[in-house]
Structure 1
């Protein structure tokens, strides 16, 4: 008998999504609560958890029995003794907006009778550290436990005792059999900076953030290590042994301060507007605090009302954390588009499922370059973490491979430019891909035009940057060849504000004059990446004329002084982009010309090798190199016994030191300018 085809349950996909999210959450629970080495931020974790909660609310009948949405943490670390909490250490729910705050307060009112409506709320800073429970017996410190899984924690008593601001004896509590205080162990910002600086000096691994540093310190089996760390304890509740005359949360914190404990500042309010105003003030000034916080904790102030309101499975009903706008979030990468920059670099831009990050809806994110895509292992369809701090452009912090869908697609580098269709090249071992159509590509046009007319290139005086951009925006100039077609637009140009008949004629005269140039100038004017004035001179010397340069192989290009592997490929690719050749041919057709180049002999510096180092005030290094080459010198990048002269500008460093040690002649800038004047180079 033939097997019947397997029927896929309509709920199969939903259960699969739930199982995938549960697996990921458990992994991050273990990293956060057990290993104290979280690999994602709290907000990213919250995003994943909220996705699971949303599915469970929509499909309650499919909720998985091992869902972590009702649990607090994870199993305690086996290296420490495990002890059950007298009272479970629960987590807090979260709100992220004013509307969610109002909804939280509405739920409180719904559970209170009419006489207790609109209760007073107490507000504290939400510290970003490790939650611990401390026990004092007759005023003497006796035990410290971590939160653990909320019901069983780890005994870290010996490490906690080393914290300098923690009172080990409470004289006012000798008559209290058991006092349990809960709070947060954290590492202040200044101490964290010092700790990482010391780690760098010792060549050790640094901590990612103060919370990791604090948690890692408390998990040391050797208390001496914890003692050496700059830790601090801040109390936030009294869970056992609170005097009966204290009836509020704010009163409990005042009691802790009276006993000698540190607490965060406390405010009280009854209205959502007042709570929001305090939240906004804290958000504005958080960077001035000596420690890290990630929001504010809001609690019903009355301890009696707290008891009436009770608890959910993992959190109290009477408290919530009002978190700051997330500086990171999790969303899906829907597609990748490629943009071409003014230098021809191709930049991939990720199109996202819109998500709020730092209070701003983000739908696009830069992926920087093709190498970054490979480093991240990114695919279209992936769930990604998006980071944004302050006004910084959002970026992808990581890929959640565990949540990758089965239909995820690899991201391919375009073979041709999305703007001009010229070939795209990515040199082996490089991360940056570029369009080769430098003279033709519209995305690179303005940069190419400005460089082409510059003084050391075609030297078209009177055709400045602003006019070039204006002419380009008007559609009069698309490529550098169109500069020589400007005289056909005379009637249009003379009507432009700021340009009269005389100015236009002067511009045309400068354009006409520039047609008679030299081969080194023309090569430099083409704007080939990595080809400066000195390299252009070397290429002209090596090949004599443009056709020979255009046909040169990579090996021949590499034989030219100062031409390395990357520059050789840039030149080779440039002259094999059809559109570039079309523009060059158009320039020649329009009258641009030069004489075949023959290097001069019997020049004053012929046979000498010079090195230029430091900063020159009268000119840049490239210009100085061009002057030296025009006088016959070879310009090298390193000093050796064969070096004839080192030209040393301001802040010359190791090259000057080496020249002095080898006894090489050193010229300062004033002597160099005198040399140029002597040979009529200035």
Structure 2
């Protein structure tokens, strides 16, 4: 097996996990659906080619992301899976062929499959639980196994009935559906946010998901604007209802809103025709949709087909092509990212695309600008790729003469020789498509790096959000990452919108972050290509920061799982004099790395000592949570996201949440990390 394949699988896994958190927990996706799908398909292809690289916790095997802190979690009545995608007619025909093969129709008989067609709603999936007809619980999709309990917010959604309209409701009913924000409500919400000088939401999906997950200062008007549309009955199906189409009628009778654009297609040709017809209606619908969902109509056939780890075999989402519109490119500007990458951004004459007004679009990099010959003043075609991030598709070259006749300038915009933020020199490394600001102290880089340093996977400093980071950098209190540990309460209380209690809490969070581990520090430094997996590999090999600083590039590259690209990035960072000075200053300001642990017996020789035991992890652990999870699973245990009567142990780190209280109420044993280590090593 080539080492490059192992390194690429690790890199893709870390990247997909990061984007899962952004999408499912932060409601702030950075990638379009199409770009995310491309990364996931690459990972799936590599795992298929090299089966030994397929890990149980691979993003290819999971739905969504682990629930965020803040809400209690609860298990779904049955797994809440995702759907596989079809991007074109060939993939739809392949879907039908797979079904026909799996159902083993008799030769010579009809092999036509009846499919129910439904709009693919672009919102946030939830499960509603009814007991004897009364609404008792609502969960987000979460990771497909457990979701966040957002019952109190869902009770404010007008289209969710508090009681089912039925004289004989089932004992337990589990209704699946989508929370959406109608386009008219979305526009009104964003207008109000701009008026309050708040950042508008990117799209209705983010606004809907964010509304559901409000904890403090809940905006009841936002919740009242949401709409629930049902599409599945996971539990509680009366025996006489044996088709998906009949289930939709039942849900409507019970009082749920069902999308009116429903149809039954007899075979794939009718399905493709339905999809094309729905696409033509898309711009006139009151809610955003991004495709058509096709499900095998007969429940008996669904049960025969079954499901894979991530998605059922009996359903597929036929995605729409991105919506496009034409407008004028008014300017090209450059933004500076966390790694110093200069990203060109198109400033556009505002235009409506996919139900929202777009005034900016991604240009990716300078090579893309030159390949498409994009010039300021051009008429261009843009699209919302995956209906998230607007992108420039092409230039209307046939309209250039018209533009010149109108007196519009058509200027080319080259890469700046100096950073637009700090005016330092820019560089472009050989073999890379990206130009970067070479100044590690660039304010734009510093802000993004500081947010990264404070993130949960790094030093986990609560209170260092986007606006607070901007404030600290712009007032000069933080000019380099290590300055965070030089902050004092007196200097913070003088800042605008910084109350004494907020300052005290932030200083306390910084104090807690002084005690950390080498993997967390390596992640916090923002070294390119270094995520949780690579940080753990480096720590396993060199054990201490001093050991890593003394390592040669050859020694780093020799680590199994780290390819030459990652090794070069790590070695270049560690060799840079300014970075070494910054690392020394961390130590001078009291940042202490936990001593490397001797490998336990469970790590040297995994045993099944925890077979049949279920664990829940809470609070900040000394090691990355992913590492603790892997150790438990290697010993035969299971890690879940919520505490229940089936939980055997709750492992509590610093500042544990409400899970400890729930464990106490249920009589579940609570362990510290030493207790977990004892279980792992106990003979």
Question: Which structure would you say has the larger RCO, counting Cα contacts within 8 Å and 6 or more residues apart?
Answer: 2
Q: TM-score by structure 2 length? A: 0.50
* Bigger radius of gyration: 1
Q: TM-score, normalised by structure 1?
A: 0.50
